Amino acid sequence: MRLTLIISLILCSMIFSISHATVYRWVDDQGKVHYSDQPVENAEPLELKQNTQNSVTVQIPAETEGSGKAAEAAEYRIRIVNPTQEETIRNNNGNFTVVASAAPELPSGFLIALYIDDLLYGQPQSSSIFNVTEVNRGEHNLVVKILAQNGKVLASSSPRKIFLHQASVLSIAKPATRPAK
């Protein structure tokens, strides 16, 4: 039974490859040239030469995108778009948003990290928008960095100096006391 199945499969593949390899050419009544793998009346079989056959070779990359040296070899650039240099941010809670821009577009697996005064703020993330909360008033330097999966720094922005202002509890206007009448 197995032998019969194997022989029939071999014969079918040979028949298919022979019929599939033949290309026919014919000209219709209007003079238009047609090509087909099916024989038609007045069709002539064509002989294909080696240089007319197409072949495609696919090279499989040694490493996956995003983790390989090829992805790290690209020259990435990152910059802080917002806030602007020496911008004064007024927020009593110490909240603001940092927006960065990377070029070329980062492949998956790469992360962006925000550093405030040379300290990592939160966890590195794939988004280039950071919602910063509860930062104390004063002058701060912001830097964003592109990190590979292994933690290697691929690019770093120029430092961006900002000023965070918060209203002081001591300077809140107190209601004036009126003398009793």
Look at residue 19 in the predicted model and tell me its pLDDT: 47
Condensed to tens digits (0 to 9), the pLDDT of residues 141-158 reads 999 998 888 888 888 999
- In sign, the C-alpha dihedral spanning 132, 136, 137, 143 is negative
d(CA 101, CA 98): 10
Condensed to tens digits (0 to 9), the pLDDT of residues 43-99 reads 888 776 666 555 556 665 655 544 455 555 578 888 999 998 999 989 888 899 999
Residues 6+ apart with CB under 8 A from 129: 97, 98, 99, 100
Condensed to tens digits (0 to 9), the pLDDT of residues 99-136 reads 998 888 888 888 999 999 989 998 998 888 999 998 88
Nearest to 164 by CA among 119, 125, 133, 128: 133
Nearest to 37 by CA among 20, 52, 54, 53: 20
The domain limits of the chain are 18-46, 69-167
As beta bridge partners, residue 145 has 113, 156
Look at residue 161 in the predicted model and tell me its pLDDT: 93
Look at residue 43 in the predicted model and tell me its pLDDT: 84
Question: What predicted TM-score, i.e. pTM, was given to this entire model?
Answer: 0.53
Condensed to tens digits (0 to 9), the pLDDT of residues 10-48 reads 766 665 555 455 788 888 888 888 888 888 888 888 776
Look at residue 41 in the predicted model and tell me its pLDDT: 82
Please state which of the four CATH numbers 3.40.109.10, 3.55.50.30, 3.40.50.720, 2.60.40.10 is assigned to the domain occupying 69-167: 2.60.40.10
Nearest to 78 by CA among 48, 54, 111: 111
